[in-house]
């Protein structure tokens, strides 16, 4: 049976009869509803206009027969109920957030049935209180504020109530102009406006700031290089591979803690939440440079825990709940006891068959945690949808088994963030589905619902086609970047890692999948056909780079035709990029594309 809602409510009862909307139907905010509930009433009003062709009036007070009543009953706690019958519809929720969630369910019902709504009773509540999404805004792509608001609308529609934007250097800090001067950073105005927009939709916008590792851009500046673990960090030219692996703060420098606290003090007040994610993941350089003497004396673990503990204690002293990524702490979970009891560990794992060990061990340490799966799109043109489905479903299972208090579904942007965030929407919806309702849903059933409910595809086949387009990147983006950054020996190793004999079969599969995507076009509503253009350009990305991989394997004779195809494709790609993103890291990406085009023309045959 097809899913009628996404996420699927806990209890759905079909009843006899129907409610027929008329020009006299009103949406009534009953006594006790908050002033903020006007927004949800307006959402519902717009949906009725779009789906039923009627424009109901809004009102406050008691509802009449034939009206849609929005009520609050605190005895329902985090639940809502929706009753639709011949006498009208009543949505009753225990909280204002519950009322917002219930409206999203009613809107989906309207989208399916229009002006005549079959009688139904729904009772619903979330399995996980914290249902989050995490978007990388630092490693090449900074979205526009308009697009971020579109994402907020999407999260609201599917009952995702927490959102974090990953920031390394892409916020306009007062004293870090050298770090953001060649980028297009988010500003205080952006954050304040987005925070208010999210709060109105019951989305908690949580600040997330690199404060230990992954501080390449900041620590490569002349302004801050003395704080870097590795000396001469300001002298090393940019490359994607080096930037991804470095830099880490030098915790032996007495100025480091105050430096991070100052960044926190400038950034944290822009958000109304009391949570703050200090990140502190992948501290690859720790103890390998300026702090080596301390690491030799005290151990790398002591250096790591000391810095994280100090930042967490600082945040707690300000009434905040600190969060951090758990990949380092998992190696010594007993040290979690040294952190303030308020601290939340963000425990990530991205494999399709992700083991439970990390979640289990952190749970045993006694610290509070979120399970953190991923949309599996980083370093991919087409997200690995099968991987994402399996990973998110399994991590939600681990979260429930070990009593995690939330899910944070991650969307990273390694190596220039070439993956278009619009293609990760299915992964967002997988996370929404499983964090709200832990009941397993098979991939085919969920993909059909994503097609129909998420994209308005009446054929229900779009996600199956997009899924068939994924996992055919033989010469994938990680190899593209590493090949150009490597010397000849490294380049030979990288080409040996990929089986380029698979390219003809892979490219044939991509073309077949694209034809299936194009066949869905007549079944998509006018406002949602942009996925067709995006999928077409993305398919070309896979085809083209697979062919370039074959060319690199030899004999590398000049191929100006392939070079021109690369340049024309990139023009189309830039058009897609600029629809939702600022210029951000495009200069570096453009330099990489130009180097490949020059190489294809025979202008540049050696590693730089």
Q: Quick: pLDDT tens for 126-163.
A: 999 999 999 999 999 999 999 999 999 999 999 999 99
CATH of the domain at 268: 3.20.20.80
List the domain range (segments joined by +) for residue 59: 11-124
CATH of the domain at 16: 3.30.379.10
Global pTM reads: 0.97
- By CB neighbour count within 10 A (0-12 exposed, 13-18 middle, 19+ buried), where does 38 fall? middle
| Bridge partners (DSSP) listed for residue 91 | 70, 82
Do residues 141 and 166 make contact, with C-beta atoms less than 8 angstroms apart? no
Q: What percent of the chain has pLDDT over 90?
A: 97
| Kind and range of the H or E run holding 411 | strand 406-411
Q: Helix, strand, coil shares of the chain as percentages rounded to 5? A: 50, 15, 35
Instruction: Measure CA 137 to chain center.
Output: 10
155 and 135 co-located in one domain: yes
Evaluate whether residue 535 is within a structural domain: yes
What pLDDT sits at residue 563?
98
Evaluate whether residue 302 is within a structural domain: yes
Evaluate whether residue 523 is within a structural domain: yes
What pLDDT sits at residue 466?
98
Token pair 């930042």 is found at 311
Do residues 267 and 314 make contact, with C-beta atoms less than 8 angstroms apart? no
Cα–Cα distance measured from residue 198 to residue 162, given in angstroms and rounded to the nearest whole number? 9
Closest CA to 546 of 462, 469, 602, 489: 469
Out of 109, 124, 139, pick the residue that ends a domain.
124
In this model, does residue 14 exceed pLDDT 80? yes
Evaluate whether residue 515 is within a structural domain: yes
395 and 472 co-located in one domain: no
Out of 124, 140, 173, pick the residue that ends a domain.
124
Cα–Cα distance measured from residue 364 to residue 352, given in angstroms and rounded to the nearest whole number? 24
Evaluate whether residue 605 is within a structural domain: no
120 and 145 co-located in one domain: no
Q: Where are the alpha helices (DSSP H) in 8-61?
A: 37-52
Q: How far is CA 42 from CA 57, 104, 199, 442, in A?
A: 10, 12, 16, 34
Evaluate whether residue 450 is within a structural domain: no
| Kind and range of the H or E run holding 17 | strand 11-20
CA atoms within 13 A on the CB side of 202: 23
Evaluate whether residue 456 is within a structural domain: no
257 and 401 co-located in one domain: yes
| DSSP letter assigned to residue 473 | -
430 and 478 co-located in one domain: no
117 and 161 co-located in one domain: no
Give pLDDT tens digits for 17-28.
999 999 999 999
For the chain, what is the domain count?
3
269 and 333 co-located in one domain: yes
Cα 389-284-239 angle, rounded to 5 deg: 85
| Bridge partners (DSSP) listed for residue 208 | 166, 277
341 and 212 co-located in one domain: yes
Give pLDDT tens digits for 162-215.
999 999 999 999 999 999 999 999 999 999 999 999 999 999 999 999 999 999
Mean pLDDT in residue range 288-317: 96
What pLDDT sits at residue 2?
83
Do residues 419 and 381 make contact, with C-beta atoms less than 8 angstroms apart? yes
Collapsing DSSP to helix, strand or coil, 18 comes out as strand
Give pLDDT tens digits for 98-121.
999 999 999 999 999 999 999 999
What pLDDT sits at residue 606?
46
63 and 205 co-located in one domain: no
175 and 38 co-located in one domain: no
Evaluate whether residue 134 is within a structural domain: yes
Q: How far is CA 314 from CA 184, 257, 264, 361, 378, in A?
A: 30, 10, 10, 26, 33
pLDDT-based confidence at residue 604 (cuts at 50, 70, 90): low
What pLDDT sits at residue 608?
43
114 and 137 co-located in one domain: no
402 and 516 co-located in one domain: no
Count how many residues are written for the chain.
Answer: 608
Closest CA to 204 of 248, 152, 154: 152
In this model, does residue 392 exceed pLDDT 70? yes
Cα–Cα distance measured from residue 556 to residue 562, given in angstroms and rounded to the nearest whole number? 12
What pLDDT sits at residue 134?
98
Out of 410, 441, 472, pick the residue that ends a domain.
441
Cα–Cα distance measured from residue 51 to residue 86, given in angstroms and rounded to the nearest whole number? 19
- By CB neighbour count within 10 A (0-12 exposed, 13-18 middle, 19+ buried), where does 236 fall? middle
């Amino acid at each position: 049976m097809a899913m009628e809602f996404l996420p699927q409510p806990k209890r759905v009862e079909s009843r006899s009869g129907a409610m027929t909307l008329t020009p006299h139907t009103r949406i009534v905010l009953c006594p006790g509803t908050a002033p903020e509930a006007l927004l949800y009433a307006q959402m519902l009003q717009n949906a009725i206009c779009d789906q039923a062709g009627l424009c109901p009036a809004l009102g406050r007070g008691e509802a009449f027969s034939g009206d849609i009543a929005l009520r609050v009953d605190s005895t329902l706690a985090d639940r809502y109920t929706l009753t639709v019958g011949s006498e009208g519809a009543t949505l009753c929720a225990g909280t204002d957030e519950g009322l917002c969630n219930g409206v999203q369910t009613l809107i989906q019902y309207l989208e399916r049935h229009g002006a005549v709504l079959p009688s139904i009773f729904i009772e619903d509540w979330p399995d996980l209180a914290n249902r989050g999404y995490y978007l990388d805004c630092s490693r090449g792509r900074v979205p526009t504020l308009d697009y971020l608001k579109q994402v907020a609308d999407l999260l609201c529609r599917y009952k995702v109530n927490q959102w974090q934007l990953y920031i390394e250097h892409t916020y306009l800090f007062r004293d870090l102009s050298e770090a953001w001067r060649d980028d297009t950073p988010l500003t205080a105005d952006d954050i304040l406006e987005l925070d208010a927009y999210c709060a109105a939709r019951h989305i908690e916008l949580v600040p997330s700031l690199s404060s230990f590792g992954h501080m390449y851009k900041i620590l490569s500046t002349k302004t801050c290089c003395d704080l870097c673990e590795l000396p001469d960090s300001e002298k090393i030219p940019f490359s994607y591979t080096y930037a991804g692996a470095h830099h880490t703060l030098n915790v032996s420098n007495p100025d480091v803690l105050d430096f991070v606290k100052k960044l926190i003090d400038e950034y944290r007040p822009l958000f109304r939440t009391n949570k703050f994610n200090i990140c502190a993941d992948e501290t690859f350089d720790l103890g390998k440079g300026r702090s080596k003497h301390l690491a030799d004396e005290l151990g790398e673990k002591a250096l790591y825990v000391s810095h994280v503990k100090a930042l967490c204690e600082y945040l707690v002293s300000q009434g905040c709940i600190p969060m951090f990524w758990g990949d380092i702490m998992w190696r010594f979970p007993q040290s979690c006891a040294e952190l303030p009891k308020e601290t939340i560990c963000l425990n990530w794992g991205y494999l399709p068959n992700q083991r439970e060990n990390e979640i289990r061990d952190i749970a045993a340490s006694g610290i509070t945690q979120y399970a953190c799966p991923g949309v599996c799109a980083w370093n991919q043109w087409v997200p690995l949808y099968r991987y994402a489905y399996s990973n998110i479903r399994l991590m939600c299972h681990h979260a429930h088994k070990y009593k995690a208090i939330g899910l944070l579904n991650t969307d990273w942007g390694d190596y220039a963030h070439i993956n278009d965030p619009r293609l990760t929407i299915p992964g967002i919806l997988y996370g929404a589905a499983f964090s709200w309702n832990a009941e397993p849903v098979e991939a085919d059933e969920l993909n059909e619902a994503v097609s129909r409910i998420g994209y308005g595809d009446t054929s229900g086949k779009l996600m199956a086609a997009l899924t068939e387009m994924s996992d055919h990147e033989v010469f994938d983006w990680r190899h593209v970047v590493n090949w150009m950054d490597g010397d000849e020996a490294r380049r030979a190793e990288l080409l040996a890692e990929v089986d380029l004999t698979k390219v003809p079969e892979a490219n044939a599969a991509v073309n077949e999948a694209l034809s299936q995507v194009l066949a869905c076009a007549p079944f998509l509503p006018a406002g949602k056909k942009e996925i067709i253009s995006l999928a077409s350009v993305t398919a070309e990305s896979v085809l083209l780079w697979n062919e370039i991989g074959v060319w690199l394997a030899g004999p590398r004779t000049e191929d100006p035709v392939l070079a021109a195809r690369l340049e024309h494709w990139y023009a189309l790609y830039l058009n897609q990029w600029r629809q939702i993103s600022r210029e951000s890291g495009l200069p570096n990406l453009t330099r990489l594309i130009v180097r490949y085009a020059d190489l294809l023309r025979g202008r540049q045959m050696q590693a730089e």
